[in-house]
């Protein structure tokens, strides 16, 4: 089919064994909780993951022994805090195949995308001088996204287009949720300045063909921003191999704390972008008339930083690396296939996105004919099963697929086969229950 999403091959790594998963679960005390009298089955990791003791301990240890402002003081605690903060940055950089000065700490991925979009807006207003001219947008220029984007990778570009007079265009999806790659080449053209798209859809679970889309952007000299929120925690991320200009992801989806995210940018691009937020700790010199800014990453890290969260994110990455992203991916791939196969066998259930046997990460969104997703979610919650319901911050995607909302189950390295079985049984019972009460 011409709209096929990806040529990604099924992973060949050895999945985590049931015994290994049970051992890992001991690091996550919350997974032992009871909800409504049932053992918690947490199938909402796509929204936010649970945190292992090693991550919680890393943040607590910082506050117990090193708490101080970074890049400010000359005393011992300040030096220790700065060293831990920057060591965590180095850990993040290694994890994604970047250099340390190409990693900018943000509050989350949403802030990272807004940072790039607003910095380009500043460049379009004349800020940043000659070096920033490459980011200037105006009438006649185009920004390209896709119809499956999370609102975080849509709204900032809508706003940038509105401020600069540029045009926002999008690559459509077909009835299965796959990108219309046959149309992409006609949409990404000589007027395209930015191409921004998700690596993995937070609704569909599909893995988008990064190489194909990057090649189209490179052919016309456009910049590429990759939303890696649903790929960095599950597939791993090599920004050099993917050849993207910018990438963003959030710590809380990959065992880390809330309040910290990452923006990757090519060094030469970050150093040419005018800053987004301005204030202390990101300057070389300030007079009453003029300011000179530091190079990246500090030029984008104004004010007091999220120090403990960054250190905890480094601990989360160490944890994932020790387990092995390839094995985590294999484990989730198997769970994702079980989700799709099981849901597809329930009358009245429509699975959104790739069907059984096609590449996907370990999540599945679905619609049940005649039953609102909130009712499905509440029925499952009564059995201790936590899932996501709603439009998942992707209203255009749902509208294109003809549904108002959906129910989403998402897995991670700590998810068990039994939890997937309980979930599928719960969905089947929900269909029976609401059907009998229709």
- Active-site annotation, residues: 393
One DSSP character per residue, 343-354 reads HHTSTTEEEESS
**Residues 231 and 86 both lie in one domain:** yes
pLDDT tens by residue, 148-186: 999 999 999 999 999 999 999 999 999 999 999 999 999
> 229 to each of 153, 164, 269, 274, how far by Cα in Å?
11, 27, 21, 25
**Strands across the sheet containing 142-146:** 103-106, 261-265, 246-250, 223-227, 192-198, 142-146, 167-171
Task: State the average pLDDT over residues 280-296.
Answer: 95
> 171 to each of 163, 168, 179, 182, 274, how far by Cα in Å?
22, 11, 7, 10, 29
pTM: 0.95
**Residues 109 and 242 both lie in one domain:** yes
Count CB-CB contacts under 10 A for residue 34: 9
Give CA angle at 295 (68, 134), nearest 5°.
140
Residues in a beta bridge with 408? 365, 388
- In whole numbers, what is the pLDDT of the chain averaged over residues? 95
Q: Per-residue pLDDT for 342 more than 50?
A: yes
**Residues 256 and 294 both lie in one domain:** yes
Question: Residue 436: which pLDDT band, with cuts at 50, 70 and 90?
Answer: low
- Cα separation, 48 vs 251, whole angstroms: 9
Give the least confident one: 90-104, 250-264, 342-356.
Answer: 342-356
**Residues 79 and 217 both lie in one domain:** yes
Residues in a beta bridge with 208? none
Question: Residue 40: which pLDDT band, with cuts at 50, 70 and 90?
Answer: very high
DSSP tally for the chain: helices H, then strands E: 14, 17
Inside any domain, residue 3: no
**Residues 222 and 253 both lie in one domain:** yes
Task: State the average pLDDT over residues 333-361.
Answer: 94
CATH number of the domain enclosing 166: 3.40.640.10
Q: To which residue do tokens 């963003």 refer?
A: 248
**Residues 94 and 228 both lie in one domain:** yes
Range of the domain at 380: 18-52+324-430
**Chain-centre distance of CA 209, in angstroms?**
16
Extract the tokens encoding 83: 């060293």
Per the structure, how many domains does the chain have?
2
Q: What's the confidence (pLDDT) of residue 146? A: 98
């Amino acid at each position: 089919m011409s709209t096929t999403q990806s040529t990604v091959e099924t992973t060949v790594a050895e999945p985590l064994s049931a015994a290994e998963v049970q051992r890992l679960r001991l690091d996550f005390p919350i997974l032992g909780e009871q909800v409504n009298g049932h053992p918690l089955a947490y199938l909402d990791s796509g929204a936010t993951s649970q945190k292992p003791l090693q991550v919680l301990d890393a943040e607590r240890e910082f506050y117990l022994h090193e708490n101080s402002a970074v890049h400010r003081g000359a005393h011992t605690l300040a030096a220790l805090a700065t060293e831990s903060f920057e060591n965590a940055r180095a850990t993040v950089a290694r994890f994604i195949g970047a250099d340390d000065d190409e990693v900018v700490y943000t509050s989350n991925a949403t802030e990272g995308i807004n940072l790039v979009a607003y910095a380009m807006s500043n460049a379009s207003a004349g800020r940043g001088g000659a070096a920033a001219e490459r980011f200037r947008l105006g009438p006649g220029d185009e920004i390209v996204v896709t119809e499956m984007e999370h609102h975080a990778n849509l709204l900032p570009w809508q706003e940038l287009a509105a401020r600069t007079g540029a045009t926002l265009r999008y690559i459509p999806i077909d009835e299965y949720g796959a990108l219309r790659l046959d149309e992409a080449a006609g949409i990404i053209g000589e007027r395209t300045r930015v191409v921004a798209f998700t690596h993995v859809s937070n609704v569909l679970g599909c893995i988008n063909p990064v190489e194909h889309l990057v090649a189209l952007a490179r052919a016309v000299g456009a910049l590429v921003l990759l939303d890696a929120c649903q790929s960095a925690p599950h597939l791993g991320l090599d920004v050099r191999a993917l050849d993207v200009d910018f990438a963003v992801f959030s710590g809380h989806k990959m065992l880390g704390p809330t309040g910290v995210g990452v923006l990757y940018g090519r060094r030469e691009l970050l150093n040419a972008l005018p800053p987004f937020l301005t204030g202390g700790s990101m300057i070389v010199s300030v007079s009453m008339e003029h300011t000179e800014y530091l190079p990246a990453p500090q030029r984008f890290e104004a004010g007091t930083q999220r120090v403990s969260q960054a250190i905890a994110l480094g601990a989360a990455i160490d944890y994932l690396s020790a387990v092995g992203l390839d094995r985590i991916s294999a484990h989730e791939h198997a769970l994702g296939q079980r989700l799709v196969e099981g849901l597809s066998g329930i009358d009245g259930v429509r699975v959104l996105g790739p069907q059984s046997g096609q590449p996907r990460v370990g999540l599945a969104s679905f619609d049940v004919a005649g039953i609102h997703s909130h009712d499905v979610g509440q029925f499952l919650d009564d059995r201790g099963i936590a899932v996501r319901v709603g439009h998942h911050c992707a209203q255009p995607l749902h509208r294109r697929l003809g549904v108002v909302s959906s129910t989403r189950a998402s897995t991670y390295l700590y998810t068990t086969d039994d939890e997937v079985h309980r979930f599928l049984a719960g969905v089947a019972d929900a269909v029976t229950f609401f059907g009998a009460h229709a």
